[in-house]
Amino acid sequence: MALRPILTYPDSVLKQRAAAVSCIGADVVRLIDDMTETMYAAPGVGLAATQVGVGQRVVVLDVHDEDESAGKRLLKLINPEIVEREGTIVWEEGCLSVPDLTAPVTRARRVLVRAWTPEEREIEVEGEELLAVALQHEIDHLDGKLFLDRLSRLKRDLYRARQRKLGRQGRKGTGGTRPVLI
């Protein structure tokens, strides 16, 4: 396993739609292992392959409770697709690829996702609230969308202006306090 660099906005790779995985081989398993290590090290609760520069439809998620005694609940999903959506919820989101920004985003409260596992089993994952939000957030990444794209134009423009200013000063985002990053 190896840590992979996480791409950040405005990297153009983040805007590209990922291709479906046609064969679950050793390379995909290695990618999933690397993504898992990278996600936990970041730390985040989800990571899409596009965020590490790989254009394949692969995500890892772990939205375990804050109570560490509950243990990790790692999901490794290949070719995930949302097959049902229900209700709405507003959640304060952050993103490893969009540093120093959190904002409320409206999403479906419950989703049903169909995907494949590294063991080549088709599964369905039903998620509510945080898990539903995280699933939608990561699948958005696979479709070339950032949570930034779901914000008002004003908020997007303010964020972009702040990032340009930091870039001109030769600095990146500060990182600051770490919210839950999806």
As given in the structure block, the two tokens for residue 103 are: 């904002």
CA distances in angstroms from 69 to 65, 66, 131, 165, 180, listed in the order given: 9, 9, 19, 43, 19
Q: Give catalytic status of residue 138 as yes or no.
A: yes
Set 81, 92, 122, 138: catalytic member: 138
Q: What are phi and psi of 58, to 5 degrees?
A: -135, 135
Q: Tell me what percent of the chain is helix, strand and coil, each rounded to the nearest 5.
A: 35, 30, 40
As given in the structure block, the two tokens for residue 130 are: 């945080």
Identify the burial level of 41 via C-beta atoms within 10 angstroms of its C-beta, where 0-12 means exposed, 13-18 middle and 19 or more buried.
exposed
Name the CA radius of gyration of the chain, rounded.
16
Residue indicated by tokens 């999806």: 182
Round to the nearest angstrom and report the end-to-end CA distance of the chain.
Answer: 21
- Cis, bond preceding 5 (omega within 30 deg of 0): no
List, by residue number, the catalytic residues: 138
